[in-house]
Copies of this chain bind each other. A is one copy, B any other.
Amino acid sequence: MKALIVDDDRTLADLLSFTLRRAGFETVQAFDAPGAVSTFQQDSYDIILLDVNLPGGNQLQNGFDVCRRIRETSNVPIILLTVRDDEEDIIKGLNLGADDYILKPFSPRQLVARVQTVLRRAKEGQALMPAAFSARDIHFDPNRHEFTRGGAEPVLLTRLESRLMEILFLNANQVLPTATLIDHVWGPGGATPDMLRQLIRRLRQKVESDPGNPQMIQNHPGIGYRFIP
């Protein structure tokens, strides 16, 4: 497995290299946009780690350009490295064909986990990408189980919480029957309404600003719940 690491911060690039080598990768580094493109063209890689905030002038200088250029000739998996404040960068990058993103700062474990996830997905040929939900000031990424509200810290959801949030968000503004929710979270008939109530409760505690007066996740007696972004 061979990885191309593109980052102008050489310390960070070294750290990335070190981490990935420990995980069994070969690594090659590039420190600016032209270098990245030419390096990429000289050899084939299994995955690209790409900092979007490459410094520089006006043409073929930042990470997006690199992403576009690579995508013109290859569909190698690309993971973007971005900072939290820039949701737009993420969307822009994903639209240019990147496969996933990682928010800086990140731990080595996160990095390896993401890389392996992306590689597994790529191998299975399922390029599921627009997996993130967002509406107004909230944002939810089911792949990494993160729920973000406004500029606040992302909240980590558990597996079941994430699946619940997924179907709620997917059918925003609609009342979803209890059975439908159970089917999607646990599988058909895989749970009792009791368990769903507890799950709803825990999810509210995590995502509602006032869990005592839930605004986003509303109940409709005898029917089910509804999510209002």
Contact = CB atoms under 8 A, between A and B. Distances in A.
Number of copies of this kind of chain in the complex:
2
A75 interface: no
A109 interface: yes
Given A222-B158, A222-B159, A130 B143 contact: no
B132 A170 contact: no
A126 to B, nearest CB: 12
A137 B73 CA distance: 41
A223 B159 contact: yes
Interface residues of A, number: 41
B110 A172 contact: yes
Interface stretch (A37-45, A58-66, A100-108, A209-217): A100-108
B105 A221 contact: no
Interface string A173-192: 11100000000000000000
Interface in A202-228: 220-223, 226
Interface in A19-49: 19, 22
Interface in A93-133: 95, 103, 105-110, 113, 127, 129-133
A144 interface: yes
Given A158-B221, A221-B158, A226-B144, A106 B172 contact: yes
Interface of A: 15, 18-19, 22, 95, 103, 105-110, 113, 127, 129-136, 143-145, 156, 158-159, 169-175, 220-223, 226, 229
